[in-house]
Amino acid sequence: MTLETMPFSKALNAGLRKAMEDDPKVLLMGEDIGKLGGVFRVTEHLQRDFGEKRVLDTPLAESGIVGTAIGLAMAGFRPVIEIQFDGFVFPAFDQITTQLAKLTNRHEGSLSLPIVIRIPYGGHIGAVEHHQESPEAYFAHTPGLRVVSPSTPNDAYWMIQEAIASNDPVIFMEPKSRYWPKGEVELDASAAPLHATRVVRTGTDVTLVGHGAMVTTLLQAAALAESEGTSCEVVDLRSLSPIDYEPILGSVRKTGRMVYAQEAQGFASVGSEVAATVMERAFYALEAPVLRVSGFDTPFPPAKLEGQYLPDADRILEAVDRSLAY
């Protein structure tokens, strides 16, 4: 096994490079992704190595970028789009939800649209309005889109390649606060399925579930809980649509308790859906209600207040204590 330690952003870069080497129909599009390498340097040096016809710097026109990608996919290409920041995706929302998500169904399955839309999302970087949001529920709610979010460099490397290989549109949510921390990447291992949920820490008392950057916070909370005598199992959702429920249900049937944590607002969210499904499918295994910890139902606050808005290990541990008190 070949292991290499690299930041999340470099793992994405390596995954994109591998996909482009393997398939000449893969091309990248986005604002400032060429010579600059993107604002987070995820596409650094790819234009230099693959040329301007495969790594395209686009105008600042998200709707036009997605519309162009749809046409390229119809012509046999596999476009990978970078949306520069989460809040910038909304000018393209119409193209994504009313065209990209529906065209395959409109053609009764005869038309494939292998398009990946990469979206840096979430907080913890002290950014301004429109640069720190969690819009994943909008896309998970839309039939015809696959929605995934890696939490580790290894998943970033493999999942971006699997997303590009998919014949369906994939919304690829990248937790921007994880771009810099390093982790081991297994460069020659077989990848877990794109939509597989994974248990990343075993435990017996409470199941903690989350996605994206929140998985790191859940692991921190689980370590603190262990020091206080509580054993928490941590489950990384990885895929937000479709959701692989069996590992979650298996964990809940073992622990009898579950807490879901996310950066996004709590109302009508991914956490809401997971909580409702677990209550339906594992009700008799539960010793307490499924609890949720989330961002508040307000616009994302200015940078100085994000520490109050985003769930941390203490808020998760408070939910663990409430669950154990039932």
Region for 238 from its dihedrals, namely left if φ exceeds 0, alpha if ψ lies in -120 to 50, beta otherwise = left
* Cα distance between residue 82 and residue 35, in whole Å: 14
- Helix, strand, coil % over all residues of the chain, rounded to 5: 40, 20, 40
Contact at 8 Å (CB) between 259 and 291? Answer: yes
Cα angle: 174, vertex 178, 183; to 5 degrees: 115
What is the Cα gyration radius of the chain? 19
Query: Quick check: is 131 catalytic?
Result: yes
| Integer Cα distance of 237 and 54 in angstroms | 32
Residue type, 141: H
Number of H helices, E strands in the chain: 12, 14
| Residues 6+ positions from 86 with CB-CB distance below 8 Å | 119, 120, 121, 122, 130, 131, 132, 133, 134, 135, 176
255 neighbors 221 (Cβ within 8 angstroms): no
Length of the chain as a residue count: 326
Residue whose C-alpha is closest to residue 93's, from 160, 171, 32 = 171
Instruction: Measure the CA–CA gap between 88 and 262, rounded to whole angstroms.
Output: 21
Q: Please, what is the angle between helix 246-255 and helix 270-281, to 10°?
A: 60
Output the DSSP codes for 56-91.
Answer: EE--S-HHHHHHHHHHHHHTT-EEEEE-SSGGGGGG
Q: Are 203 and 222 in contact (CB under 8 A)?
A: yes
Q: Which of 45, 124, 131, 195 is catalytic?
A: 131
Please give the positions annotated as active site: 131
